[in-house]
Amino acid sequence: MSFIKRASTLKERRLSTRPSPYHLDVTLVEAESVAESSNAVSRRSQRVKRESADEPLTEIESLAPGFNSEPSNRARQSSSSPVKRTGSASPRKPKLIPQTLGTPHPTPPRWKETYDTIKEMRSHIVAPVDTMGCDQAQNKEVDPKNRRFATLVSLMLSSQTKDEVTDAAVTKLRQAIGGTLSVAAVMAADEQTVSDAIGKVGFWRRKTQYIKQTAQKLHDEFDSDVPKTVDELCSLPGVGPKMAFLTLQVAWNLNHGIGVDVHVHRITNRLGWHKPPTKNPEQTRLLRLNLQSWLPTELHGEINHMLVGFGQTICLPVGPRCDLCQLSPKGLCPSARTVVKSKSRKSVALTESGPGIEIAIESNLVETQTLADSPSSLPSPLTEEES
């Protein structure tokens, strides 16, 4: 019985050899179980995988027979060892911006008469966008690259911010970084300097990061200049389609699409130019494609500026001045409001020790009635990325 037990024990064990750590001519022979051997191999393979390819061998391993003194030994040449790839990852491809609709949007009735009427009104109005818009930022720069970069920065700051605040921030930023709004100057400035200069605009913390990252990317990939395509512009941090189209129009005099902001979004919906109306920011892209599908191409470059000024002075977000608008008398605006003025006389009697004094206070009460425009039909404000 003991002989059988011993034989079975020998089958479960096998001999292994290893060089003696004390003398090169001595080889040690050891008996180990199959389970221990397999566990050792497993542990050894895991250790080899974790080892770096350029890690030098230990002194014992370098002297042991069967090992090469070069770093690329047999264990590291094993096919089971993962190969670590070097080099930077492939750059992410820019997301393509759609330019056309599969089915063009129907042309709104009397749109040309409406467009010409608004354009005529705008010719007699000086709006904030006319004196402090994004196209004004380039006028204080001489170098063509700096002029284009100043336009881009102004557009990045204008999101969810009034033109007056944007213009002041651009001026302060230019002074803070040395008097010239250039890619090199923005890269050299620290984030705190940029943040202090643009602190009055909306989302200033995020815009500080966007401007710094954009300057670095323009330097690395576009020779410190503003790119000339919509897709390349939209690959910049914080730049969306609206900014891209307006940048191309102002900086490069290229007409590649309509820039849709909150004013264009609101006014074109009030005019009934979209069926169905676009009521939320997610439909802004559809609104732009709708307009581009039927509005003549030669008008794409001017409609944003025209409607922005119209929205800043007459077609206000709250309390639009329909009494001053020429669209209402012509029946061109389905959202027009009628304004009814009435006068009421209020009297207040003051009694003192003496003759009574009666003071009459006259006030004008203004009542507005909505014909085809209710709060639920107005579009929601755009987010920073959409505007």
Element (H, E) at 266: helix 262-270
Residue 348 Cα distances to 155, 353, 357, 366, angstroms: 54, 17, 9, 22
Q: What is the rounded distance in angstroms from the CA atom of residue 283 to the CA atom of residue 101? A: 13
Q: What is the rounded distance in angstroms from the CA atom of residue 329 to the CA atom of residue 322? A: 10
Q: What is the pLDDT along the chain (387 residues), one digit of tens a residue?
A: 555 555 555 455 566 777 776 666 667 766 655 445 455 544 544 444 444 444 343 333 333 333 333 333 433 343 444 444 444 444 455 556 666 777 888 999 999 999 999 999 999 999 999 999 999 999 999 999 999 999 999 999 999 899 999 999 999 999 999 999 999 999 999 999 999 999 999 999 999 999 999 999 999 999 999 999 999 999 999 999 999 999 999 999 999 999 999 999 999 999 999 988 887 656 777 888 999 999 999 999 999 999 999 999 999 999 999 999 999 999 999 999 876 655 555 444 444 444 444 444 444 444 444 444 443 344 444 444 444
Element (H, E) at 366: strand 357-370
DSSP character at residue 98 = P
Residue 366 lies in a domain: no
Buried b (16+ CB within 10 A) or exposed e, 293-306: eebeeeebbebbbb
273, two tokens = 């130019």
Residues in a beta bridge with 358: 349
Computed over every residue of the chain, the mean pLDDT equals: 76
**Predicted pLDDT of residue 116:** 97
**Predicted pLDDT of residue 24:** 64
Instruction: Write out the DSSP string of 144-167.
Output: HHHHHHHHHHHHHHHTTS-HHHHH
What phi and psi values does residue 279 have, to the nearest 5 degrees? Answer: -110, -5
Nearest CA-CA partner of 94 in 211, 217, 206: 217
Residue 342 lies in a domain: no
Residue 72 lies in a domain: no
Residue 185 lies in a domain: no
User: Residue 28: what residue type?
Assistant: L
Containing structural domain, residue 14 = 2-63
What's the number of domains the chain is made of? Answer: 1
Instruction: Tell me the three state secondary structure of residue 319.
Output: coil
**Predicted pLDDT of residue 83:** 41
The active-site residue out of 49, 212, 242, 275 is 242
Residue 302 lies in a domain: no
Residue 242 annotated as catalytic: yes
Element (H, E) at 118: helix 111-122
Residue 233 Cα distances to 52, 175, 225, 253, angstroms: 41, 26, 11, 15
Residue 32 lies in a domain: yes
Residue 337 lies in a domain: no
Which residues have C-beta within 8 Å of that of residue 215, sequence separation ≥ 6? 183, 186, 187
Q: What angle do CA 288, 387, 338 make, to 5 degrees?
A: 80
User: Does residue 276 have a cis bond before it (omega within 30 degrees)?
Assistant: yes
Rg of the chain taking only CA atoms, in angstroms:
37
Residue in the block written with tokens 């003192």: 352
Q: What is the rounded distance in angstroms from the CA atom of residue 276 to the CA atom of residue 202? A: 31
Q: Is 370:337 a contact under the CB 8 Å cutoff?
A: yes
190, two tokens = 């620290």
**Predicted pLDDT of residue 382:** 44
CB-based burial of residue 196 (10 Å sphere; 0-12 exposed, 13-18 middle, 19+ buried)?
A: middle
115, two tokens = 């467009």
Instruction: Tell me the three state secondary structure of residue 234.
Output: helix
Residue 339 lies in a domain: no
